Amino acid sequence: MAYKFVDNYREKGARKKLVEDLKKRGISDEKVLAAIGKVKRHYFFDETFWVQAYLDKAFPIGAGQTISNPYTVAYQSELLHIKKGDKVLEIGTGCGYQTCVLLELGAKVYTIERQVKLYDRTIQVLPHIGYKAEFFLGDGSKGIAEYAPYDKIIVTAGAPLVPQILLRQLKIGGILVIPVGDEKEQKMVTVIRVSENDFDKIILDTFRFVPLLGDQAW
């Protein structure tokens, strides 16, 4: 795949339109919309497919995985209520698009990917286009205990259940956003850690993610 890092008027215009489309679909957090407006999603596509980059579609990124569609990225980002400086664990780096959105929102991001091919590419591309995160290769279904606790945890692949080990890595007041269901479809779930042993769970809309594989997942 040949990446090219040029932002032409056509891509700028398409990005603006994408933000308008997301507003129409119900994304209302201005900070999230601004972040989507800043991250150059076409940088994660081969130039041949740039016309696809600002459509609200998932797209193959190699290793049998996808870049999530922009609505899903915006939806999960909104649920996280990121504050500047929040320590965020992202499980499923993929190509790093969601990582960039989190960074634009002011988060300090720890991101983990299990596919070495994607990890190798993303650790090169993100710093090259100006985004700094802490990258890890491995099974994120167990979280990353060494750097816990986190203000927020986002899982970008579909899990069969909420891994309890992730809840233990949240700060009190912290939020976990995770799609939970079977391999065909998942409900977006947010869990807020309200005290040491109490968690509030909210079940939201239906999505379709690639599976979260690993010790605490499929």
Task: Annotate each residue in 8-37 with x if it binds ligand SAM (CB under 6 A) or - if it does not, as one string.
Answer: ------------------------------
* Interface pick for ligand SAM out of 40, 41, 87, 114 (rule CB under 6 A): 114
Stretch that binds ligand SAM, among 11-19, 110-118, 124-132, 174-182 (CB under 6 A): 110-118
By C-beta, is 87 or 114 nearer to ligand SAM?
Answer: 114
CB 146: neighbour CB atoms within 10 A?
Answer: 7
Coil, strand or helix at 26: coil
Residue 109: both structure tokens together:
């991001």
Query: What is the Cα–Cα distance from 66 to 156, expressed in whole angstroms?
Result: 10
Query: Is 83 in contact with 105 (CB distance < 8 Å)?
Result: no
Interacting residues with ligand SAM between 128 and 147 (CB under 6 A): 139-141
How far apart are the C-alpha atoms of 11 and 176, rounded to whole Å?
A: 33
Q: 146 with 136: CB under 8 angstroms?
A: no
Work out the burial of residue 164: count CB atoms within 10 Å of its CB; fewer than 13 is exposed, 13-18 middle, 19 or more buried: exposed
Stretch that binds ligand SAM, among 48-56, 89-97, 168-176, 180-188 (CB under 6 A): 89-97
Nearer to ligand SAM, 67 or 195 (CB): 67
Among 22, 68, 79, 150, binds ligand SAM (CB under 6 A): 68
Q: Would you tell me which residues interact with ligand SAM (CB under 6 A)?
A: 65-68, 91-92, 94-95, 97-98, 112-115, 118, 139-141, 156-157, 209-210, 212-214, 217
Catalytic annotation, residues: 68
